[in-house]
Chains A and B, each alone.
Chain A
């Protein structure tokens, strides 16, 4: 299901988005995940307003309960997106983590 060609083509987008700061404008906690994300649940997904202008939807990592509020400052980082496919392709992508401790 994971196409190495698609992953390769999307690398440029990932590099472009990494290390950007922003704030959480809304979020949820996914407790019933899609098939390739079952080992990570429960996890927050946030809608983030980046300081440079655009908005992104991204999974939040390295979080604690206190970070689950609108207004939490975050930064974009590179992480493994989902479980690797059986042919060994590991998809990486953009996630966000809270900025303050």
Chain B
């Protein structure tokens, strides 16, 4: 299982030279084309390159077909962005689509076929009725879960209840995740939510899927994010300090929760993280900041445990004592962007935005939410309820 990734390690010299994200939110007056142009042009400008330098485009997106009736997004955006004749792909893996696009872009460079490539994550969700979005998102689950009338909040609620039963996790523990991430989001000019929230507000917000309330859930969002990647050979000719991708790992598990051995962990996260630490030759203690997949509050607690930041059952207590909040060094800062919860969650854009955030942090350009002295960052992106997990580790 690990052989190929390990062999690729010595050749894994991939640099990020351009990064850009839109503000996430309810962007009714902006089209997917305009979102894509803003970030890809932004990332190319950041990288100091022209469209003709791009050898391939990798587009992370989930719902363009089901909601927008537009597929063939590789060619669609290659045309829009002026990448005439470039290879172009749509990569779909539910909420992990963005980081899967990045993983494929990394591999494309390692293969030697492309020197410089662009990664675009994009999703347009607010054009559609919420119940239609909920139905389309359930395309990421199993047919049995769809026939049960379950939703994604419902599936994570089922995981939350098991965690509460096993480890005594409380509603307040879950709410604390939302409070922290909305606080971080209030410092991020690109976030969907600009105001901090209180624990009472989370507990009092209306029930979506018991025990989860509205403020336990990431929002429905529009947005895009883009990266420009290049091989080290090309990078050698530049003067700007690059950010290196030192691990890119993907793992999968059963689509449905009913087929899992354990309901208190996402095995795919553990697998991807274990391999990523090994390839990057470092441990979780070396990580300065983590952008992790907090689609629901319970998901952040699960991820903290599955990434090895804490032992099983210990994440909530540490989080409530402020261990993962900005300005609490020497602890790792978790979701300085505000996460999916506070910054927003345009499905295909999320995995790319996480990496854009880490690039800004490692460059020391994250403004009010800067993690001081950040040298190593980890991005963790999940598809479905953990059927796909992707871990990237970046270093400066």
Contacts and interface: CB of A to CB of B under 8 A. Distances in A.
Interface string A18-54: 0000000111111111111110100101010000001
B158 A32 contact: no
B280 interface: no
B210 A57 contact: no
A79 B245 CA distance: 51
B148 A59 contact: yes
Given A45-B149, A59-B148, A26 B263 contact: yes
Given A34-B134, A45-B149, A27 B207 contact: no
Interface string A55-70: 1111100000000001
Given A27-B161, A29-B210, A34-B131, A57 B258 contact: yes
Contacts of A36: 135
Nearest to A47: B158
Interface in B121-155: 129-132, 134-135, 138, 142, 144-151, 153-155
Contacts of B206: 31
Contact of A29 (B146, B209, B256, B258): B209
Contacts of A94: 147
Interface residues of A, number: 31
A26 B149 contact: no
A36 B320 CA distance: 39
Nearest to B213: A31
Contact of A35 (B131, B147, B210, B263): B131
A57 B257 contact: yes
Interface in B152-193: 153-155, 157-159, 161-162, 165
A93 interface: yes
A32 B153 contact: yes
Given A32-B151, A47-B158, A54 B209 contact: no
A28 B263 contact: no
Interface residues of B, number: 37
B259 interface: yes
B151 A57 contact: no
Contact of B165 (A35, A43, A70): A70
B208 interface: yes
Contact of B131 (A33, A45, A70): A33
B153 A54 contact: no
Nearest to B129: A35
B153 to A, nearest CB: 7
B258 A56 contact: yes
A16 B101 CA distance: 40
Nearest to B208: A32
Contact of A34 (B151, B157, B159, B256): B151
A35 B148 contact: no
A58 B147 CA distance: 8
A81 interface: yes
Interface of A: 25-38, 40, 43, 45, 47, 54-59, 70, 81-82, 91, 93-95
20 contacts: A27-B158, A27-B161, A28-B155, A29-B210, A30-B150, A31-B210, A32-B130, A34-B138, A38-B131, A40-B149, A45-B149, A47-B257, A47-B263, A56-B144, A57-B142, A57-B144, A57-B158, A59-B150, A81-B147, A82-B149
